[in-house]
Structure 1
Amino acid sequence: MKKLLLLGGDALLLPVIKKAKEYGIYTITCDYLPDNIAHKSSDEYVNFSTTDKEDILEWAEAKHIDGVLTFTDSGALTAAYIAEKMGLPYQCSYEAASILQDKALFRDFLQKNNFNCPHAKGYSTIEDAMKDLDEFLWPVIVKPVDSAGSKGVCKVETKGKLREAVENALKFSHKKHFIIEDFLEMEGLSCGSESFAIDGKAVFNGLYDQYFDQESRNPYVPSGEVWPSSLSASYQNELKSELQRLFSILGVRTGIFNIEFRLCKNGKLYLMEVSPRAGGNRLAEMLVHATGQNIIDAEVRKAVGLEPKTLSEAQYDGHYAILVMHSLLPGKFEDIVIEDPFFNHVIDKMILYKKGDDVRPFTGANALIGTLFLKFDSRKDLNHALVNQSDWLKIKIN
């Protein structure tokens, strides 16, 4: 029986575990939170922080695992490291993963290889950053170099507000490094893709539009994703071409990647994030519904050395959305009510809270209450539902 190590323990791994078990694969989940939901479904749980790559490697070698996989940002580097040391399949080399998982290194890579890139620079101290204030076009964006889910991200309008933003960013950085970059004025909607490469070629690209709740404490956390993307065909082709060029330079192999990009008012398309793991909010899971193609299946097969089933470019039979349920204020979770006729458009629902659980305000992707998968016949009807969700979706917090 093949043994698959899964770094993480949240709900994103539930369909991975289910798929692995269909293949008779023994699943082992790993993080430092023993009460996480995925540990209840896996065959075995081991307690390490997903960033403790040396300790996990020692354990994995003794366990003789056959594959390693992660759907969490904190586990991507560790998974790449273990795979490389043990000769197991992974999306890319540890060196490439190190570039992709560090925003400062990634911006430097983009600039050196002539990709569109905002002026950006990484720092470890606020004092060093203060020396370079006149290098940037204000406002700027401050981010931890190694945090996902928009945690610690802040737009800074004036130089006097920089210190506060940096102190916040450093709270979410394992490396205690941050990046400052010029703010890019967006044209239309921010976009992303859940993509899958086979032998270095991006064969599947599930491009989507991102929605944000501007009333939340962190307006840079996606509160919804919509398929198919409204990005024009010409820009979609440019994105795919640039992504393929990046994959070729980095020597990408086979596996899933989460991409974030945006079209800006200067007419340029920018790759913002390319991460060697699945995205949050159950993106890969939704694409099974929206396209009929299962990139979770492909990722599981790849991880244990099996050839992924054939994948092709995404096609859609309707208009789909993931709605990220959240609260603007803290409180106690009471209930979620979905009213007719919108209930008929819900094709899947996951609620992560029980009655009485503490709910946090929506400051990062880790503060979501749950997700709804929606399907409509037209983008107009879908947009109407998203804009007017308070009319049909009642999230009751006491």
Structure 2
Amino acid sequence: MKKLMILGGSSFIVPVIEKAHELGCHVITCDYLPDNIAHKYSDEYCNVSVIDKEAVLEAARKHKIDGIISFACDPGVVSAAYTAEKMGLPFQGPYESVRILQDKGLFRKFLTDNGFNCPHAKSYDDKKAPFDDIDFFDWPVIVKPVDSAGSKGVTRVDDPAKLSEAIEIALDASHNGRFIIEDFLTFKGSHSGGDFFTIDGKIVFGALEDQLFDKNSSNPYTPAMLIWPTSMDKEDDKALHEELQRLMYALNMKTGIYNIEGCIGADGKPYIMEVSPRGGGCRMAEIQHMAYGENADLIGNEIRMAVGLPLTKIEEGKCDGYWVQFDIHSHTECDRVLKSLRIEPTIEKKYVKYSMIIAKPGDIVKPFTGANMTLGDVFMRFDTREEIAEVMSRSEEWVLLDYED
């Protein structure tokens, strides 16, 4: 029986564990939070910090694992790559390449040095240093940790006088005490992303989605809704894919899943914003499997890659209609106690194909400052983009969210 180690313990990896069990794997989950829900589904649990790569390696050797992944767990990706390389196990790419992808400062430098389009960007560990670079940036700017995901710690700054506050917010969400400042990029159409899959570095599945943001949330830069297929025109889609493919080859990437973010700038150029060798949160790979069919089983093939099993056929194919992944979230500006949460039955019956409500009555609901503040996810299928616009524009009417007084 193959032993698979999964770093992280959130609800997003429960379907990964279930798929691994279907494939006959023994699953070991790891993080420092023993009460996380995923550990109830795995065969074993290791209490080890996913950012401590030496501790992860020690645990992996102790359990004599056959493969390791960090699915929907951004902080664990570097440790997973390090462990895989030390143990001679498969992974998406070399440890040094993964380290570049997982550090926004290193990644922006790599993009710039290798001729990719990139906004002005600098990373820092000194809170005072950016004030010597005010004229380097084209304001407004975005301030964020170099090593976080899910839009945690991200702030737009229009006035240098407010830069200090944004730096503190970024550092509060950072693991390594570093932050990055970069030009705020205005894009054409929608910001895009998706979970991709490569075989020997070649992108074999690359379905982009549109990312939509909730301007009324506490963090308007956290994606609140994803729509497949993308509305990006074919030429722009091709240009962005060509840059992503060039990046994969430049970093000597191999086989596996990636969470991608990119856009076409207002200047008409393709920009790669994020590439992380892991499955995305919000159950992205699952909805893509539902939307694109049986040859889009990215989760199953990620597991197969990790433990050395043969891959099944992977191809993008055609999207069956229009699909929406919607993050249920609050518009509260302060902590509230949840009384009840449900979807209006008519909407649920007609459009919802899958739902996962993780918030329970009595839970503390916090402002929507990042993807980790999601109350649940719903997958919805529509026949047209116009139908999406009409239904989703009134989501507050059918997401029935009540709080205690």
TM-score, normalized by the shorter chain, greater than 0.5: yes
Residue type matched to 2:59 in 1? Answer: W
> Counterpart of 1:3?
3
For residue 260 of structure 2, give the secondary structure of its aligned residue in structure 1: strand
Question: How far apart are the structure 2 equivalents of 1:69 and 1:340?
Answer: 38
Residue type matched to 2:312 in 1? Answer: K
Q: Residues 146-225 of structure 1: matches in 2 within 5 Å?
A: 146-225=147-226
Match of 2:373 among 346, 367, 370: 367
* 2:315 maps to 1:309: no
Question: How far apart are the structure 1 equivalents of 2:387 and 2:239?
Answer: 29
For residue 382 of structure 1, give the secondary structure of its aligned residue in structure 2: helix
TM-score of the pair, normalised by structure 1 = 0.98
> Counterpart of 2:44?
44
For residue 286 of structure 1, give the secondary structure of its aligned residue in structure 2: helix
Q: Residues 349-360 of structure 1: matches in 2 within 5 Å?
A: 349-360=355-366
How far apart are 1:341 and its partner, in Å?
A: 3.0
How far apart are 1:11 and its partner, in Å?
A: 0.9
How far apart are 1:264 and its partner, in Å?
A: 1.8
Question: How far apart are the structure 1 equivalents of 2:194 and 2:237?
Answer: 10
For residue 51 of structure 1, give the secondary structure of its aligned residue in structure 2: coil
* 2:386 maps to 1:380: yes
Residue type matched to 1:369 in 2? Answer: L
For residue 148 of structure 1, give the secondary structure of its aligned residue in structure 2: coil
For residue 50 of structure 2, give the secondary structure of its aligned residue in structure 1: coil
Per-residue CA deviation, residues 203-222 of structure 1 (Å, 9 max, x unaligned), is 00121001111111111111
How far apart are 1:6 and its partner, in Å?
A: 0.4
Per-residue CA deviation, residues 166-225 of structure 1 (Å, 9 max, x unaligned), is 111011111111111111112221111210001111000121001111111111111110
Per-residue CA deviation, residues 28-54 of structure 1 (Å, 9 max, x unaligned), is 000011111100000011101111110
Question: How far apart are the structure 2 equivalents of 1:189 and 1:387?
Answer: 16
For residue 142 of structure 2, give the secondary structure of its aligned residue in structure 1: strand
> Counterpart of 2:399?
393
Residue type matched to 2:344 in 1? Answer: E
For residue 197 of structure 1, give the secondary structure of its aligned residue in structure 2: strand
Could you tell me whether the CA contact under 8 Å between 1:194 and 1:259 is conserved in 2? yes
Question: How far apart are the structure 2 equivalents of 1:9 and 1:84?
Answer: 23
Question: How far apart are the structure 2 equivalents of 1:384 and 1:96?
Answer: 43
How far apart are 1:336 and its partner, in Å?
A: 2.2
Aligned residues: CA RMSD = 1.0
Residue type matched to 1:355 in 2? Answer: P
Residue type matched to 2:338 in 1? Answer: F
How far apart are 1:313 and its partner, in Å?
A: 2.1
How far apart are 1:397 and its partner, in Å?
A: 2.5
Could you tell me whether the CA contact under 8 Å between 1:226 and 1:319 is conserved in 2? yes
* 2:351 maps to 1:348: no
Question: How far apart are the structure 2 equivalents of 1:73 and 1:337?
Answer: 29
> Counterpart of 1:114?
115
Could you tell me whether the CA contact under 8 Å between 1:205 and 1:314 is conserved in 2? no
Could you tell me whether the CA contact under 8 Å between 1:88 and 1:303 is conserved in 2? yes
Residue type matched to 1:190 in 2? Answer: H
How far apart are 1:20 and its partner, in Å?
A: 0.7
Could you tell me whether the CA contact under 8 Å between 2:292 and 2:316 is conserved in 1? no
**Number of corresponding residues:** 398
> Counterpart of 2:60?
60
Question: How far apart are the structure 2 equivalents of 1:46 and 1:122?
Answer: 33
Q: Which runs of 4+ in 1 moved over 4 A?
A: none
- Provide structure 1 residue ranges, at least 5 long, that are not aligned to the other structure: none
> Counterpart of 1:29?
29
Question: How far apart are the structure 2 equivalents of 1:395 and 1:294?
Answer: 33
Could you tell me whether the CA contact under 8 Å between 2:198 and 2:254 is conserved in 1? yes
How far apart are 1:340 and its partner, in Å?
A: 4.4
* 2:324 maps to 1:334: no
For residue 190 of structure 1, give the secondary structure of its aligned residue in structure 2: strand
Q: Among all aligned residue pairs of Structure 1 and Structure 2, give the percentage whose two residues are the same amino acid.
A: 49
Per-residue CA deviation, residues 262-317 of structure 1 (Å, 9 max, x unaligned), is 12211112100011111111100111111112100110111101121111124211
> Counterpart of 1:296?
299
For residue 322 of structure 1, give the secondary structure of its aligned residue in structure 2: strand
Question: How far apart are the structure 2 equivalents of 1:333 and 1:40?
Answer: 24
> Counterpart of 1:99?
100
* 2:172 maps to 1:136: no
- Provide structure 2 residue ranges, at least 5 long, that are not aligned to the other structure: none
Per-residue CA deviation, residues 346-383 of structure 1 (Å, 9 max, x unaligned), is 00000112211111111111110000100011111012
For residue 361 of structure 2, give the secondary structure of its aligned residue in structure 1: coil
Question: How far apart are the structure 2 equivalents of 1:100 and 1:189?
Answer: 23
TM-score of the pair, normalised by structure 2 = 0.97
For residue 238 of structure 1, give the secondary structure of its aligned residue in structure 2: helix
How far apart are 1:339 and its partner, in Å?
A: 2.2
Could you tell me whether the CA contact under 8 Å between 1:206 and 1:314 is conserved in 2? no
Could you tell me whether the CA contact under 8 Å between 2:240 and 2:263 is conserved in 1? no
Residue type matched to 2:392 in 1? Answer: L
For residue 150 of structure 1, give the secondary structure of its aligned residue in structure 2: coil
Could you tell me whether the CA contact under 8 Å between 2:240 and 2:264 is conserved in 1? no
